[in-house]
Amino acid sequence: MALSAQQIPRWFNSVKLRSLINTVQLTKRFTRPGRTLLHGFSAQPQMSSDNCFLQWGFKTYKTSSLWNSSQTTSSGSQENNSAQSTLLPLTNEQSEKTGKIPSFDSEVFLEELDDLPPLSPMQPISEEEAIQIIAAPPLPPSSFTLRDYVDHSETLQKLVLLGVDLSKIEKHPDAANLLLRLDFEKDIKQILLFLKDVGIEDNQLGAFLTKNYAIFSQDLENMKTRVAYLHSKNFSKADVAQMVRKAPFLLNFSVERLDNRLGFFQKELQLSVKKTRELVVRLPRLLTGSLEPVKENMKVYHLELGFKHNEIQHMITKIPKMLTANKRKLTETFDYVHNVMSIPHHIIVKFPQFLNRNYRI
């Protein structure tokens, strides 16, 4: 039976809807793609449903166009014949297409899921579903160790990979809180690149950051200014790298602090600029430590041990650690060397290592 032009779109929509329903039902029963289904239907995952429907629509439109053109050029009897002959290929094509139902990809089902109402968090669930829910343990509000936070913090994980000893840092609550608030990409990465540029090697970063974790609270531009200041005082890049490795807190001090320290040693010890630079390169903690032990030992060498100023100057340029030695240990060692071993002052000045050794007194 031939279809009129008004019935063709309705027929097409009914075929499309019926094919969609059948395909959804079949795909729910049979999940393997390409397997032969009931009555010779085959689900082909490579073919999109939209493409098949587009082809059916195109051929229907073509059939309708041919039928309209034949209607305007022929008589009444010829119109019926031409309409039937024109619609016969459509009937054949329909039978061929119904032999194969295209499968629908995940996009079709996603569109259907979008139409579903959202699940309510207050919706009751069964006991079996509740048992299957796996919830991650919550972070403790407070802890005595950073171990509880490592699995949840990318920053702590990367610091561990760098060799940072978190067991030493967690002894300082302020430091632990600082690390937990930091973002590795925003707050730490640029400082690590800066330290590498200064001269800290990859295998030295862990030990450096374990000692000077407070560097993450320093302003990067201020630290670059401090390095530039040292270069302006004719410290080479190798000198600065050595000083930073031996005294990790060096970059935490302001330019004014560094300048005052250099001026103090140059004035008190009456050293030249070159001698002062060599002194702090060999013992950079002179720039970061307290000046009280230095001042106290200067008095001990001069007043208690009887060394002249130029002799003190000579000894400390050879062994800078004599400036920070323990006062009690220093006097006991000198008493043993000078009074028991009977070594005079001028020999001790020539070989100051005598005062830098441990003796069983």
pLDDT tens-digit series, residues 90-109 = 444 444 444 444 454 555 55
Residue 337 lies in a domain: yes
Per DSSP, 191 falls in state H
pLDDT band at residue 349 using 50, 70 and 90 as cut-offs: very high
pLDDT at 56 over 50: no
Kindly state the DSSP code that residue 339 receives in the 8-state scheme: I
pLDDT of 260 higher than 90: yes
Total domains present in the chain: 1
Provide the 10 A C-beta neighbour count for residue 246.
14
In DSSP terms, 36 is beta-bridged to: 42
Q: Is 314 among the domain residues?
A: yes
**Spatial separation of the C-alpha atoms in residues 259 and 265, rounded to whole Å:** 10
Q: Give the domain extent around 338.
A: 290-360
Quick one: residue 307, left, alpha or beta (phi over 0 = left, psi -120 to 50 = alpha)?
A: beta
CA distance 284 to 97: 87
Q: Specify if 91 maps to a domain.
A: no
- Segment 194-209, tens digit of pLDDT: 999 999 999 999 999 9
Main-chain dihedrals φ then ψ at residue 42, nearest 5 degrees: -130, 130
Contact 146, 169 (CB under 8 A): yes
CA distances from 216 to 84, 163, 254, 288, 347 (A): 85, 16, 15, 18, 48
pTM for this prediction: 0.59
Q: What is the DSSP letter of 152?
A: T
What is d(CA 149, CA 167) in angstroms, rounded to the nearest whole number?
13
Between 235 and 113, the higher pLDDT residue = 235
- Confirm whether 228 is domain-assigned: no
Rounded to whole angstroms, how far apart are CA atoms 258 and 70?
101
Give pLDDT tens digits for 269-311. Answer: 899 999 999 999 999 999 999 999 999 999 999 999 999 999 9
Centroid of chain to Cα 238 = 30
- The mean pLDDT value of the chain amounts to 74
Q: Is residue 191 part of a domain?
A: no
Tokens of 103: 């499968």
Domain-located, residue 308? yes
Angle 291-297-298 (CA atoms, 0-180°, nearest 5)? 90
What gap in Å lies between CA 4 and CA 239, rounded to an integer? 96
Whether residue 45 contacts residue 34, with contact meaning beta carbons closer than 8 Å, is answered with yes
Evaluate whether 159 touches 179 at the Cβ level (below 8 Å). yes
The amino acid at 115: D
